[in-house]
Amino acid sequence: MMQFKPVTIKDKEAIAAYTRSGDFLNCDFAFSNMCSWRFLYDSEFAIDEGFLYIRFFIKHHRVYMFPIGTGDLKQAFRKIEKDAKGYDSLLRIFGVTPPGKDKMEMLFPGEFTFTANRNYFDYIYLREDLCTLKGKKYQAKRNHINKFKKSYIYTYLPITPNLIPECLKLEQQWMQSNHNEKDTDALEFENRSMVFALNNFDALDLTGGAIFVENEMVAFTYGSPINHYTFDIHVEKADIRFEGVFSVINQEFAVRLPEHYLYINREEDLGLPGLRQSKLSYQPAILLEKNMAVKIN
């Protein structure tokens, strides 16, 4: 029986040894996401015979991520199927992308159902597109940036430990301005994840940047690698009184990412209309389909 244990910061290198060398583009495989959201999902991992296994809870159901590793993939799935039977007998695999779905259907024809949820598709962009904003399709973004630059004298700074208190202050302001009864839980969960991440910024291998106007932080963002060629943006917050500031922080951060990152994953829209519109407006190169695969008993 595999021995699962909670995901903690000290497990970063062990887990990243598998995820960073893989070809999975899902934001769910960014170690910082696993660790900073563990309080909500009870995320656990196991390493066994060349594979990394991740399991967690969604709405009281135990679910697993696609196993990462080399060797007998079919046997790897049989192992998590056996582990699932020790809980509620139903094997559920979260975040299965089209390549993963093809592998599963080849290995287990007719054994799984696959259900896609559009709200959890990842928005993935070419880093070069977000850096240059070339072409007619990005004209509106360039207009926002130009208006901001004409209106304000600003400074971009990388996030370092001394800036963390200002990030936390801006996050509190953002929460207060966006508070409503419907989204209270979601905002509080996100805030808890962010506070953990910001307070463990270096340990989680996070990279971020901030925009200042007249010595006041008006926007910040941060993220971490998913693999060697894909960077994940976990958070982007800004004071919307400064028109165009989201476009500015997005571009300023992208141009400073190392060129070996071909893609930037800006995660899901969670079905929020405004967020969906915003993420579509940046013209994703890949709208990454993610499925819940369920074993047919």
The rounded distance, in Å, linking the Cα atoms of 234 and 208 is 10
Is residue 49 packed enough to be buried (19+ CB in 10 Å), middle (13-18) or exposed (0-12)? exposed
Q: Identify the residue whose tokens are 């070419």.
A: 126
**pLDDT at res. 175:** 82
297 inside domain: no
**pLDDT at res. 87:** 79
**pLDDT at res. 181:** 55
What is the number of alpha carbons within 13 Å of residue 251 lying toward its C-beta? Answer: 19
Is residue 199 domain-shared with residue 80, that is, in the same domain?
no
Is residue 277 domain-shared with residue 147, that is, in the same domain?
yes
The rounded distance, in Å, linking the Cα atoms of 98 and 67 is 15
Averaged pLDDT in 10-residue chunks for the chain of 297 residues:
92 96 94 96 96 93 95 95 86 96 97 96 98 96 96 97 95 80 77 95 97 96 97 96 95 97 97 94 98 92
113 inside domain: yes
**pLDDT at res. 186:** 81
**pLDDT at res. 59:** 84
Is residue 258 domain-shared with residue 155, that is, in the same domain?
yes
Is residue 215 domain-shared with residue 277, that is, in the same domain?
yes
296 inside domain: no
Is residue 19 domain-shared with residue 108, that is, in the same domain?
yes
Looking at the structure of the chain, the number of domains it has is: 2
Is residue 102 domain-shared with residue 130, that is, in the same domain?
no
19 inside domain: yes
144 inside domain: yes
Is residue 273 domain-shared with residue 239, that is, in the same domain?
yes
The domain that contains 137 carries what CATH number?
3.40.630.30
Domain boundary among 96, 121, 146: 121
290 inside domain: no
Is residue 132 domain-shared with residue 117, that is, in the same domain?
no
Domain boundary among 121, 147, 169: 121
User: What residues make up the domain containing 81?
Assistant: 5-121
Domain boundary among 121, 152, 178: 121
293 inside domain: no
Is residue 180 domain-shared with residue 237, that is, in the same domain?
yes
| Cα end-to-end distance, the chain, whole Å | 21
Is residue 177 domain-shared with residue 251, that is, in the same domain?
yes
Is residue 76 domain-shared with residue 182, that is, in the same domain?
no
Is residue 13 domain-shared with residue 114, that is, in the same domain?
yes
Please indicate, yes or no, whether the overall pTM of this predicted structure exceeds 0.85.
yes
